[in-house]
Amino acid sequence: MTCDSRGYTDGIQVTALSELVTEIISHNVDFVLFPGDLVSGYTAAGPSEFEGQLRTWVQMTKPVYDRNIGVYVGRGNHEISDAWGLYPPAVIDPTDNHAVRWLNVFGNDLYPEQKLPGNGPAGEEYMTYSVSHRNALVVMLDQYAGIKHQAIHKADQRWLDAQLAASTKPHIFIAGHEAAFRALHTDCLDNCPSERDAFWAGIRKAGGRTYFCGHDHFYDHARVDDGDGDPNNDIHQYIIGTAGAWPYVWLPPYSGNNGDYVVEQWHHAERYGYVLVEIDELDVTLTWMQR
């Protein structure tokens, strides 16, 4: 699990991404989670060039695809850079924008090897989706309203609740681009605290213990204490925006609207890397692998 590989060569930090491809292959993993900011987006002159950046990213990661390793990507704010901070959204051409171009790359029958699952909520197909893999349910969440293409900083909770309720898998791994509990960036799920709290409660109810995200360019592992006195049922937030975008400098406190939760930092690193998740029946080990 890692994300945020954006840079300045075709929108990509090519050195770090190339090294990550080698690392992924060396561990013989089953799949990779990459929730957003694959590319810069902002450096693209228009939708066509943005699509070109995505296709370059796919080409760079082709050795992973060629080994039948699942590559589960999601959108970050740089994938909606044509709409980010622009209001009203009508200024974006509804027939040709970054959302449309994302679907050209990751929701297209012409490219089956990179086509993502289409089981998301209406309007978010190939952006929000779930995958059952062995004894785990894997969920990738779009937090930008799918083809509506807006910075709403939340996911489709009704769809997520249905996915979690239907799953019989003992392990649940949920990923989205933005942190649920604010670290550095203010633009995250903390913008909608009541929806964020419902999201967090849904993960706990389903037995999930982790949430993976990026957006902040560092590694930050935090335990989110729900106040019930039992640390074993607390959910851990893993910010892993460490795939090549320039690292940020940040220290606690977690100064967002945390509601009744207490966010406690367990580990922090301002370096490139990824988290390796290893499953042995009911045991899960998560290891920070630093460059």
**E strands of 232-282, at which residues?**
235-240, 262-269, 273-280
pLDDT for the residue numbered 87: 47
Residue 50 resides in a domain: yes
Is 136 contained in some domain? yes
How far apart, in whole angstroms, are the C-alpha atoms of residue 287 and residue 274? 8
pLDDT at 85: 63
Distance CA 285, CA 137 (A): 16
Verify cis geometry, omega within 30 degrees of 0, for the bond prior to 247. no
Tens digit of pLDDT for each residue in 221-255?
A: 999 999 999 999 999 999 999 999 999 999 999 99
* pLDDT confidence tier of residue 140, bands split at 50, 70 and 90: very high
Residue 262 is assigned to a structural domain of this protein: yes
pLDDT attached to residue 83: 84
Contact 238, 286 (CB under 8 A): yes
* pLDDT average, residue stretch 54-60: 99
Asked if residue 239 is part of any domain, the answer here is yes
pLDDT over 50 (residue 191): yes
Query: Which pLDDT score is estimated for 113?
Result: 97
Tell me the CATH number at 106.
3.60.21.10
| 172 assigned to some structural domain | yes
**Is the pLDDT confidence value at 164 over 90?**
yes
The answer to the question of residue 1 being in a domain is no
| Alpha carbon separation from 95 to 87, 90, 147, 152 (Å, rounded) | 18, 11, 10, 20
Inside any domain, residue 245: yes
Say how many domains are in the chain. Answer: 1
Which domain, by its residues, includes 250? Answer: 6-290
In a domain, 233, yes or no: yes
